């Protein structure tokens, strides 16, 4: 898939665990893990917005397109 999810990079930069992010975003650790590993087929814009707020970043910091 040409969309790369760099969620783990941003979490590392913010020194935030998967558990803490899932609690602050309001989604389960398993769903967040699916997103983090790039296995998700879609993400709700509302969820992406909340992740960006919590991690203080832009959507482009998390999602990357590679052909």
Per-residue pLDDT band for 54 (boundaries 50, 70, 90) equals: very high
Residue 38 has pLDDT above 90, yes or no: no
Domain CATH code at residue 47: 1.10.260.40
Per-residue pLDDT band for 61 (boundaries 50, 70, 90) equals: very high
pTM, to two decimals = 0.90
The count of structural domains within the chain is: 1
Place of tokens 């509302």: 46
Domain containing 17 equals 3-65
> In sequence order, what are the residues at sequence separation of 6 or more whose Cβ sits closer than 8 angstroms to the Cβ of residue 64?
3, 4, 5, 6
């Amino acid at each position: 898939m040409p969309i790369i999810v760099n969620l783990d990079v941003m979490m590392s930069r913010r020194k935030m665990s998967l558990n803490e992010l899932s609690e602050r975003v309001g989604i389960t650790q398993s769903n967040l893990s699916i997103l983090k590993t790039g296995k998700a087929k879609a993400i709700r814009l509302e969820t992406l917005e909340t992740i960006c707020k919590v991690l203080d970043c832009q959507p482009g910091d998390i999602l990357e397109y590679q052909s």
